[in-house]
Structure 1
């Protein structure tokens, strides 16, 4: 009896605009609806085509019959390196999927390695937050696990928060989720009214001048970046809190109400205040708890920042056994960076 022929190997090619419907179908089949519940062309274009740091490079795996069986994209990012005073171009591996019939054939690995090779001359750093299932594969491809980025929590409704945590730990079924009621203005509306030169641009200039003395890597923040990241994000429902003194903008925070199992969480993505202004940071942190309409607030308050300095008196404590796992490498190998090399916000790392 003759042996069965080996399955035909897929071919690899760059992602084209015409591939978008098939890419969305494959991502949905593999990763469900994503952070908005539905993978749409508008969300894909916002994330991968309108990013102010540049369009995302992407590769596809295609079966001999033309069926799309694998996809891999790298999101472009920029970090400011206070130690050297320059901008570091980076990429973040995101949105990867392999068709169920083609798993176990090295497609994920090949797409990732090929895209690393393609971007190695334009990106100095590769970083992402893999989950427990994907982390071993990244390690085999040269990624270094740097540790867990801690999360600070502020319970707003203590009884509801405790019940929700217990139900989540016990994996008990819960009833239909109540609708979220957040009184805060939407980021879409706020950033539509605050663009170009103005109070936000002035706040960012003051912030950038002070942050230049910090040797850690921090995201390059401009009004254009913030509007794209939070104001233009389709379906993510970011909200804005502001703080003023004497009629002048002294602080801005951005977050979004979301369901976290049985709990309503306000994910605090970003806190920006004038240098040294812990009072404005504390006011923003308290307002997030008071006005979000959620059971708790969660965010990363990077050590040494005004928000971290105000966290305790605003009721925020580090949550045990939580946090996103950070992994990184250079395009050609391992990195010497550590978790302490970055000054993150949760908006830099949350999956979107």
Structure 2
């Protein structure tokens, strides 16, 4: 169903729009996390998501050009065992010829109305430029999600950090090397012990009222094993021949530095020793430093200090949220969530 407004037609996104949407996103936001926006990545993210296909709207001009696009990524949190269906505003762009006409706002508010019957929560991590616009549309800033850092190569890290602060090059760009097994290969294998590990975690977390994603083998394979172009790697540890823990991250360039972005750490309930082993192994991935969010109360957070991880001051993503129909109740904060960085990483 189409709705004309201000000379534009707002309608649902269709498969046939993909090439034009990719072109518009590239023109507005460059190549994204993989460097190039491909139909394969778009399909993985928006059509193969185990939580469901992404709802999307486009604004179309009379000559057939796309004036704007807005997509919400489906997500599912759980609290105390109860599912909380959610959406995350993600890929959005407005064609330069149509900027300043409220296209972004119209697309966002219309899509909120569309998802209201099926989503309880809308969340995202806007940057400093986009946050004011979201606040005007009913989002509430809930605080920062802190990032813990472990320096792995002190000399290289110091040189890169100084170069970053001075906004200058630190020398020749070094390739990012990482000898860890690829997530694609690991998840394509037998994954022995993973289902049991995740069942134990789910049982231990059932009474936790914080919002968290219930990790299943299928979800983890989609999120890390099947992600095209993101180069996720896997670290495992075993006790008595059984899988005791799993960590997932990806090597990447971060300005003049190389970073191992630690997306997920999963261990058996109470097993701080395995968490420490995984955290230390991440620092041996070959990058200058490791960065990740270690949620309060988790085994990884308890093992952080003795594994060399410190929370970096004045860093971390800003969390903002609302319901589809209006603002969140007062008193909600980022402490109501139990995140892994992979839940919030922009991908």
TM-score range, shorter chain: over 0.9
d(CA) in 1 for partners of 2:249, 2:121: 27
Post-superposition Cα deviations, 1:235-288, rounded to whole Å, max 9, x if no partner, equal: 000000001011000000000000000000000000000000000000000000
Task: Map 1:88-99; keep pairs closer than 5 Å.
Answer: 88-99=84-95
- Would you say 1:349 and 2:305 are equivalent positions? no
d(CA) in 1 for partners of 2:190, 2:253: 29
- Among 276, 279, 282, which residue is 1:282 paired with? 276
- Among 111, 115, 118, which residue is 2:114 paired with? 118
Post-superposition Cα deviations, 1:147-182, rounded to whole Å, max 9, x if no partner, equal: 110000000011211221121121113444211110
Q: Which residue of 2 aligns with 1:4?
A: none
- Would you say 1:263 and 2:272 are equivalent positions? no
Runs of 4+ in 1 over 2 A off after TM superposition: 173-176
CA RMSD of aligned residues (A): 1.1
Q: Which residue of 2 aligns with 1:41?
A: 39
d(CA) in 2 for partners of 1:238, 1:60: 31
Task: Map 1:192-211; keep pairs closer than 5 Å.
Answer: 192-194=188-190, 198-211=192-205
Task: Map 1:321-336; keep pairs closer than 5 Å.
Answer: 321-336=314-329
d(CA) in 1 for partners of 2:258, 2:7: 46
d(CA) in 1 for partners of 2:152, 2:250: 15
Task: Map 1:57-206; keep pairs closer than 5 Å.
Answer: 57-82=55-80, 85-194=81-190, 198-206=192-200
- Among 310, 318, 331, which residue is 1:317 paired with? 310
Structure 2 residue matching 1:217: 3-state secondary structure: coil
**Which deviates the most, 176-185 or 149-158?**
176-185
Q: How much has 1:11 moved relative to structure 2?
A: 1.2
Gaps of 5+ in 1: 1-6
- Would you say 1:213 and 2:207 are equivalent positions? yes
**Which deviates the most, 135-144 or 160-169?**
160-169
d(CA) in 2 for partners of 1:154, 1:173: 22
| Contact 2:160–2:170 (8 Å) recurs in 1 | no
| Contact 1:124–1:331 (8 Å) recurs in 2 | yes
Q: Normalising by the residue count of structure 2, what TM-score does the alignment of the two structures yield? A: 0.97
Distance 1:125 1:8, change over 3 A: closer
Q: How much has 1:8 moved relative to structure 2?
A: 6.0
d(CA) in 1 for partners of 2:189, 2:86: 30
| Contact 1:250–1:274 (8 Å) recurs in 2 | yes
d(CA) in 2 for partners of 1:126, 1:254: 26
Gaps of 5+ in 2: none
Q: How much has 1:214 moved relative to structure 2?
A: 1.3
| Contact 1:8–1:63 (8 Å) recurs in 2 | no
Q: How much has 1:96 moved relative to structure 2?
A: 0.3
Structure 2 residue matching 1:69: 3-state secondary structure: strand
Q: How much has 1:118 moved relative to structure 2?
A: 0.1
d(CA) in 2 for partners of 1:176, 1:118: 49
Post-superposition Cα deviations, 1:74-123, rounded to whole Å, max 9, x if no partner, equal: 000000112xx310000000000000111110000000000000000100
Structure 2 residue matching 1:177: 3-state secondary structure: coil
d(CA) in 2 for partners of 1:109, 1:166: 39
- Among 312, 334, 339, which residue is 2:334 paired with? 339
d(CA) in 2 for partners of 1:235, 1:320: 31
Q: Normalising by the residue count of structure 1, what TM-score does the alignment of the two structures yield? A: 0.95
d(CA) in 2 for partners of 1:149, 1:161: 23
- Would you say 1:10 and 2:8 are equivalent positions? yes
